[in-house]
């Protein structure tokens, strides 16, 4: 193949690539623009109705623990109110002094009659017994009016893991 034929072939390749790139840019520009629109509080739903009484219906219980962290889970009826909520664990090594706090964000599903909270507690010491209570709150800090009794768990040794939770079937939706 002559040098001029190779040059012509390369030019065709460049034109084809440029055309393909332009087509892809046009096809995806609208979806990218839609994703990059600024957040608008006006688009948020108004808070749902608050539950008359929030109750813990399962747990709290240890789901998983290793030598320096644990996951605590529990289920309650859907507390309602703001969709943005937090599961909160108050913990410590003395059952009368639960001075440390871990919390985990959750978005409520209004169509469910229940909510499952899972909170990861980090920075724990190996082979240590911890005591804890759980509650939940809206994003503005208002509590849901529920608090568990004091429970306990013990972290594992280095390199070990405790899987204490056995999944239960989900309750039927009403």
For residue 139, being part of any structural domain is answered with: yes
Total domains in the fold of the chain: 2
- pLDDT(95) > 60: yes
Between 12 and 125, the higher pLDDT residue: 125
Same domain for 21 and 68, yes or no, is: no
**What share of the chain has pLDDT > 90, as a percent?**
39
- For residue 109, say if its preceding peptide bond is cis, omega within 30 degrees of 0: no
The CA-atom distances, in angstroms, between 117 and each of 24, 109, 152, 170, 172 are 42, 12, 17, 14, 18
39/25: higher pLDDT: 25
Q: Looking up tokens 């839609």, which residue turns up?
A: 34
Instruction: Give the tens place of pLDDT for each residue, 109-140.
Output: 878 888 889 999 999 999 999 999 999 998 88
Helix residue ranges per DSSP H, 50-168? none
CATH code, 138: 2.60.40.10
Burial of 46 from C-beta contacts in 10 A (0-12 / 13-18 / 19+): exposed
Residue environment code for 47-77, b if the CB has 16+ CB neighbours within 10 A, otherwise e? eeebbeebebeebbbbbbbbbeebbbbbbbb
Residue-level pLDDT at 85? 87
Please say if the pLDDT value at position 16 is more than 80.
no
60 and 135 housed in the same domain: yes
Query: Do 26 and 95 have their domain in common?
Result: no
Q: What is the pTM of this model?
A: 0.67
At 30, give phi and psi (nearest 5°): -70, -40
Candidate from 97-101, 135-139, 149-153 with smallest mean pLDDT: 135-139
Residue 120 has what pLDDT? 97
Owning domain of residue 79 = 56-163
* Position 3 pLDDT exceeds 60: no
């Amino acid at each position: 193949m002559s040098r001029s034929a190779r040059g012509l072939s390369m030019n065709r390749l460049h034109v084809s690539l440029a055309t393909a790139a332009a087509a892809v840019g046009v096809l995806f520009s609208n979806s990218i623009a839609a994703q990059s629109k600024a957040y608008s509080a006006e688009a948020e739903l108004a808070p749902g109705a608050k539950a008359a009484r929030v109750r813990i219906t399962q747990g709290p219980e240890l789901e998983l623990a290793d030598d320096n962290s644990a996951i605590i889970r529990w289920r309650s009826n859907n507390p309602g109110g703001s969709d943005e909520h937090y599961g909160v664990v108050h913990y410590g090594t003395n059952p009368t002094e639960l001075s440390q706090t871990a919390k985990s964000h959750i978005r409520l599903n209004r169509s469910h009659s229940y909510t499952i909270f899972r909170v990861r507690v980090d920075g724990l010491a190996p082979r240590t017994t911890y005591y804890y209570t759980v509650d939940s709150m809206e994003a503005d800090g208002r509590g849901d009016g529920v608090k568990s009794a004091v429970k306990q768990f013990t972290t594992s040794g280095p390199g070990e893991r405790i899987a204490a939770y056995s999944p239960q079937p989900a309750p039927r939706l009403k």
